[in-house]
Structure 1
Amino acid sequence: MGKNISITLFGESHGKGVGALITGLPPHIPVDEAAIDRALARRRPGGRYDTTRKEPDPWEILSGTYRGKTTGDPLAIWIPNKDTKSQDYEHMPYRPGHGDYTAHVKTFGADDPRGAGHRSGRLTAPLVAAGAIARGFLEKQNIRITSRVTEIGGEQSPAAQEKALEKAKQEKDSLGGIVALTITGVPIGLGGTRDASAQSALAHALYAVGAVKSVAFGAGEGAARLKGSQNNDPYIEENGVVHTTTNNAGGILGGITTGDAIEITVAVKPTPSIGKKQHTVDREGRNTELEIKGRHDTALVRRIPPVLEAAAAIAILDLWIERQKEIALHQIIGESQ
């Protein structure tokens, strides 16, 4: 992910634990332990419609910090698993909506099927922890990332969402939803054209979250139904500052940030693990029926906002670092002339 920062998630849902290895972080970035705790608490299940798996997430940093700040060396975060029930996956057929079958083929049968193994949503925990470090630094640059769930099961009002959630739970089914992600304070000039695009970097980071099915910026697909005169964001100069009067572009034009808020709409699929009977194939290649008895969220979209914020924070920090290199080089060239 990115040109300057690389993050590798490791571990399995039912292994000893999960973690993240981050390289490229600049030295002297403060590590706010309370912020990491808060981010993980937001991701943790706790409601009536969340999984009953209770992971306390007692994280620890194994390397890359000294006296509360990053050293610039690789930073490793480790979160042990405490509440696994691997017996739930004994002789489990390929689960519809999961990557069980594709992983089995990809690894020539070496995949860990327990709770989706390395492909599990459990690995979003170390991503959230890593994102909290990136986010803390961005906030010192007045860059802030927020998100909110705007739809669950196609419903927008809290009352209608609650009703839809209860109905899905009773039917042993699940729901998807929509998350609105907003990034403010991003300066003009981050990103570039084509593969250096800020839009591409953010989309890449967000699509790396397994449950994400679509990512749209600004007006999104609605732009396809507008005229150019409606979709274009007019420029205006006020007190020596140039900005736009609307933000259909979602804060990025030509792959480069405009200085306006980056507005992203993320569609999240329904939780694939459901108790409702489904047709599938077992690991011997025979047709069968499956009713999942394990623990799962009725709508995982309720817990995904901190994950999306973390992915976005890492992408934005990488773009910010790249821009600082450009600014420094420009200053050196200017001084030499």
Structure 2
Amino acid sequence: MKSVIGKNITIALYGESHCEAMGVVIDGLPAGIVIDREFIQAQLEKRKPKGKISTQRHEADDFKITSGVFNGYTTGTPIHIEIENKNQRSKDYHPELPRPSHADYVAHVKYKGYEDYRGGGHFSGRLTAPLVAAGAIALDLLKRKKILIGTHILQCQEIKDRSFVDHALDIEKCNALDFATLDDPIGQQMIQRIEDIAKDHDSVGGILESCVLNMPVGIGEPFFHSIESQLSSYLFSIPAVKGIEFGLGFDFVNYKGSEINDEWQIEKDKITTRTNHNGGINGGISNGMPILIKLVIKPTASIFKKQNTVNLGTMENDTLTLTGRHDPAIFHRARVVVDSMIALALLDLCVEHFGEEWLCL
């Protein structure tokens, strides 16, 4: 089993939902980079459950950096970030009854019954907390290079937010909100919908839209190391992500080439495109336009309705009614995880292109 991603800046993830602690090891950052602990904590706050639309498992998520940072600066050695689990209720989980649409059964087979099944173990969304901590460092580094990243909730069932218009202002607004919609009344409608579905002991999914602004031209490689393939690898690492689009994505099917080709132009002595249907990427390489990404997050698999399953002990069909504390929706909490994984992927690509000294300039 490997839980490492990245080529130049590597992220090693460890821990389980109900173990004593979880965390990440970040390797590849040069010495002398300022680490903003307050920003890391602020990002972790965005991920925390809030109100009736989230799980009632509340963790402090106070992080500890135990190596790689001294007097506020990176030392050039691996950075270790640890987050403790303090609010577990392991009795709510049954090892013999795999939960529908969870990783319980496949983990049981893959790890020969030795897996930690409590709360989903290593497959739990709980492990996105250390990813957010690592991502905060990447987001801060990219922001110092004027590269901005933001994600909003585009859709919850038929309720739709508007897309990015003024990219810089919209990113700033997204990053200031707990429930990130660009249209405030739409956000309230979504929250009410999630609360209504929660009352029925069910769950709901959503679509997130992300924007990367001021990405330099020329980042990425053709074919196997394109921006799309790298971002997809990182983003599909987030639990419950089931689909991704760049630019128009699947909507390309509704147009002819003459309608959606992004024509080049000179604008204020800068080469841009008149439209941005390709979402800022040509041939797997950034073209300088905003990178636009959509992700679909499936409805939370943990619901409080009676469901069919199997009993791994008796090898008979069985039923399961979950107890415990679960989110009726996770997409509103996932958006900060999405920002984090986009930042980690792009940071790795930028270091590949410019070298690690670029981070220190």
TM over 0.5: yes
Q: Within 1, Cα distance between the matches of 2:355 and 2:270?
A: 24
Q: Name which of 291, 299, 304 aligns with 1:270.
A: 299
Structure 1 segment 52-71 matched on structure 2, within 5 A: 52-71=56-75
Q: Within 1, Cα distance between the matches of 2:90 and 2:284?
A: 45
Q: Within 1, Cα distance between the matches of 2:35 and 2:16?
A: 25
User: SS of the residue aligned with 1:133?
Assistant: helix
Structure 2 residue 9 is the aligned partner of structure 1 residue 5: yes
The change in CA–CA distance for 1:91 and 1:102 in structure 2 (over 3 A counts) is closer
How far residue 325 of structure 1 moved from its aligned partner, in angstroms, is 3.4
Count how many residue pairs are aligned between Structure 1 and Structure 2: 328
The equivalent residue for 1:296 is 326
Contact 1:152 1:299 in 2 (8 A): no
The equivalent residue for 1:195 is 224
Q: What's the TM-score once normalised by structure 1's chain length? A: 0.94
Q: Name which of 178, 185, 196 aligns with 2:207.
A: 178
The change in CA–CA distance for 1:65 and 1:217 in structure 2 (over 3 A counts) is same
Q: Within 2, Cα distance between the matches of 1:88 and 1:26?
A: 44
How far residue 170 of structure 1 moved from its aligned partner, in angstroms, is 1.6
The equivalent residue for 2:53 is 49
How far residue 107 of structure 1 moved from its aligned partner, in angstroms, is 0.6
Q: Name which of 122, 125, 147 aligns with 1:118.
A: 122
1:31-56 CA distance string (max 9 Å, x none): 10110111000000012110000100
Q: Percent identity?
A: 42
How far residue 203 of structure 1 moved from its aligned partner, in angstroms, is 0.9
Worse-matched range after superposition: 142-151 or 163-172: 163-172
Letter of the 1:206 counterpart: L
Unaligned runs of 5+ in 2: 161-185
Contact 2:279 2:289 in 1 (8 A): yes
How far residue 282 of structure 1 moved from its aligned partner, in angstroms, is 2.0
Q: Within 2, Cα distance between the matches of 1:318 and 1:72?
A: 16
The change in CA–CA distance for 1:29 and 1:232 in structure 2 (over 3 A counts) is same
Q: Within 1, Cα distance between the matches of 2:191 and 2:268?
A: 47
Structure 2 residue 70 is the aligned partner of structure 1 residue 81: no
Structure 2 residue 103 is the aligned partner of structure 1 residue 99: yes
Contact 2:30 2:76 in 1 (8 A): yes
Structure 2 residue 179 is the aligned partner of structure 1 residue 150: no
The equivalent residue for 1:135 is 139
How far residue 327 of structure 1 moved from its aligned partner, in angstroms, is 11
How far residue 240 of structure 1 moved from its aligned partner, in angstroms, is 2.5
Letter of the 2:216 counterpart: P
Letter of the 1:17 counterpart: A
The change in CA–CA distance for 1:119 and 1:91 in structure 2 (over 3 A counts) is closer
The equivalent residue for 1:286 is 316
Letter of the 1:226 counterpart: Y
Please provide the CA RMSD for this pair.
Answer: 1.5
1:141-171 CA distance string (max 9 Å, x none): 0001101011123322335423422331121
Q: Within 1, Cα distance between the matches of 2:17 and 2:341?
A: 19
